[in-house]
A and B are shown apart, each in its own frame.
Chain A
Amino acid sequence: MAASDVLTLTPAGLYCRAGDFHIDPLRAVERALITHGHSDHARAGHGCVLATAQTLGIMALRYGEHFAGATQALAYGEPLALGEVVVSLHPAGHVLGSAQILIEAQGYRLVVSGDYKRARDPTCAPFEPIRCDAFISEATFGLPVFRHPDARAEVEKLIASCRLFPDRAHLVGAYSLGKAQRVMALLREAGWDRPIWTHGAMEKITSFYESEGVPLGDIRKVAAADRAKLAGEIVICPPSATQDLWARKFPDPVVAFASGWMRIRARARQGGVQLPLVISDHADWDELRATVEDTGCSELWVTHGAEDALVHWASQRGLQARPLNLIGYGDDDEPVAEPQP
């Protein structure tokens, strides 16, 4: 059996005929398995959605209670028969509730990674490698120039900057789901015990993390009146807000951005970033390669990102590898409109 016997590429995305379901479909379908809550993977309007309880919770927060005809929660590791296949979800380490999807068909094992990382993250369950025959991997940072440093050192940079510039507000651009809460948790681990201020767009997701048992300390929402008074404080907001009218009232803001893209200077400069923080929720080049090896797969499909380099590397190691060129998966949350405060 080969991966193409289990999964096919349709205009709506990856489809499993034997189980009659799509994975992270790009348009409304009958039955969808969703890897995680980022809006380019989790869309509203499907007939039935199967995901972890946390991902379902996040989707309900973003799209309202009736985002799908029906929902079914599946715990990590719990098998579920769908048609002729058995599916199960396994931690992906990307954000709270994120999962890889294992599909077993007559002893043949195929894993769809969804978005994942191997680096430590205090806000979600760590990635678990799964042995399989075919591995469908993301490759957002699939070039050897992407090697994420230890996120703790990046957070130290932010804290050092607050000490050096106590008269300036530090605006940290971070995706509302996952990255923002990870930065908060890392700040707490590094001993930052001042309140952490947040943009209104991340309020609900942050409360959800706390209700799921992720302690984040004293989190306060920025009200219009506060902005001028936040010198020396850390404010976490969606990346686009740092360039927005909203950013103007802060005292001489230092614009930071927590993202794997900050590894590349031109990207940081183009975004007007003064303090790039290389903190990523995606696997870097080393993690991608290590993960492919950990799965022991003989076939590799590479989806969204820099596919060519990973395919080149895998082919040289004798794996059967191909790029999927799936269109529609973006840069986590960026292209999607956030509710404004």
Chain B
Amino acid sequence: MVENNLLSLIIFAPLAGAVINWLVGGYLKDKPYSEPFSGLVACGTIAISTIVAFMIAFGIGTSHQGALFGTEPVLDHIWTWVNVGGFRADFALGVDRLSGIYVCFVTFVGLLIHIFATGYMHGDKGFYRFFAYLNLFMFSMLTLILADNFLLMFVGWEGVGLCSYLLIGYYIKKDEARRAAKKAFVMNRIGDWGVLMGIFLVFTMTGSISFYDKAVDGAQVSSALAAFANMPTDAFGWGTIFAGGITSVAVLLFIGATGKSAQIPLFTWLPDAMAGPTPVSALIHAATMVTAGVYMVVRCNAIYQNAPTAMFIVAIIGCATAIFAATIGLAQNDIKKVLAYSTVSQLGYMFLACGVGAFVAAIFHVMTHAFFKALLFLGSGSVIHGMHHEQDMRKMGNLRKYMPITFITMMMGWLAICGIPIWAGFFSKDEILYRTFASRNIPEPWNYVLWIVGLITAVLTAVYMTRMMWMTFFGSERFHLELEHDHRSEPPAVAGGLSSSFDDESHEAHVQPPATADGSDLDDDDEEEHHALPPNFHPHESPWTMTVPLIVLAVLSTIGGLSGIPYAMSSLFGAGDVNIIEHTLDPVIAKVGKKEGGHETPSVKPHAEPASKPHAAIADPNLNDLYASTEAPHLAGETAVHEEHSAEELSTERLLAVLSVLLALSGIAIGIAVFGKNPLLKMPKILEEKWRIDEFYNGYIVDPITNLSREGLWKGFDLGFIDGIVNGIGYFIVEAGRALRGIQVGFVRSYAAIILLGALAVLGYFIYYGLKLVG
């Protein structure tokens, strides 16, 4: 067992930052140096986390091997949280190869976004509060990733939900923001129900909730996941979902994932969450928190691989979400909404990957997506900042002239998400599509159906992203364009979604006044509000604190994908097998039987143990260098995997890659052709209204429940029925008393007196009974 107490520093540094910012920052908030103070505390603590994370992941200056190379997780037991009757939940952290990758990109991207936010939030009165929340979020997110058991992961899981709630609702005066905040929390909670029940079932089936084998306080704790890996695989069939076996666990956990990662049917909160400040959208609602569902599924891959039905459901839901969100993304005019739907769509790809058994590809896409989507969101933040908080793309245009750095960096993100070769998104997305096509655990012909839908989604992605880029950066300047109806004056019902009917009877029936009226509010306007642009308005490029993170992310979006070049492509250039991601993550993927899609070596070794099959092929020397620190049989096991590539498979993979590039290019071509000339082209109304899903939920779920509760349960049952009976009895007694009044003059007509009488009667009875016994 490898231990390193530095691990706790990764999570506690941001927590300390949050506390300092909340208490000291709040105290200093009116001082001139309060902003640098809060910014420095927030970024400094995240920088500490980042450094420690990289140290542990790569084994720099630690006494043990880097977590990314080692065979054992690096653990840190902090305290035993709950230990009741054999149920044990430790507050303990662990880094293995999966959480190693996660912790590195989360801290690093998080650091960049923190730096960006110091520029973006400049001048905001709640500066300290914002960074306190942001640090608290990092604490929760890192707890989620580093947790060494299900329950602590759930702590982080709920914690990020809370921070997301606080940060979406950060602009508390905005109606839209507070509705969105509550909606996000509630939808997440629906998912959390699934996670909780899943954890119960995990405990019931394995007697443990730990991810790793470990020894604590002299007691041996065994890994629940390893136990699952050794269980027999469930049969394929809908009945298994309710059988209380592995498939049930997988489905319950996946319910949680649909909430956190915004999949059908719980996806509607994510687009609304864009009401929060843009750095929040980039950090929480694109790069990190929303991928927590993917993390959980990959973490539990031993469970999913033994639950083919659940895998199928995951794939279907992922794929359906991908195309569904992409169609909505086509028709949005708010730059952040486009990106939000694109995030939902990309998350769908990740689940598709999980569902077809390509867990490595899913994590690879999580990572590249974190780079390019954070870049796109921060870019949009830069645009919004430059446009004085205008978010409607119809009022933009030709911004490349005013914001060259933002423009060039965002182009990188655009190329990445569209899937143009060498940019990061190409490798990860193409890997997912190929694995879908070649999947062996999805019954035919469903794998082809999923693959085709995935391809169509790829085209749509290219189209709507191109539309966004062209509306924003090309064409004519439309800064003063008058729209028939400003998007801000939409009725709250549309923006509020889940909450609309809740608010009917409350005071806030008042509709948010149109944008121009905002200034007339009596309150201090310390919030992000869009004021009408002055006639001589010119957008401006953002300060260095914002552009530097953009440039770093642009570089990562461009070259980040090179870490996962599939063998089919690298071999074309004689580079051998250089798929670093695959090699790093492969040991994390449990080997359960032969049904693992693609080219895994069959092996019955439990969780986190590499397949140590000796073999003769000599891998590329570079790879040997890279893995010099790992043991030889271990390396051999990893490279052995790739010897199973048949020439036929390789050529199929190459062919499909060419096809998807062609489709991406055609998507871009369509985008330019359609929106280049006419950026304001009216899109189908049903898409603009997001397929009216919110209205459906409100009309058929929320409203009926609310009305039933108010009219049926409360007024009908509680006040009417139960109290009716009670009052009826009371009335009956009173009437009886009245009837008896002739005999008992001066009877006080109150319940209390009657009770007294009753009590006396009972007492009298007992005295009588007692006397009889004595006598």
A and B associate: no
Interface residues of B (CB under 8 A from A): none
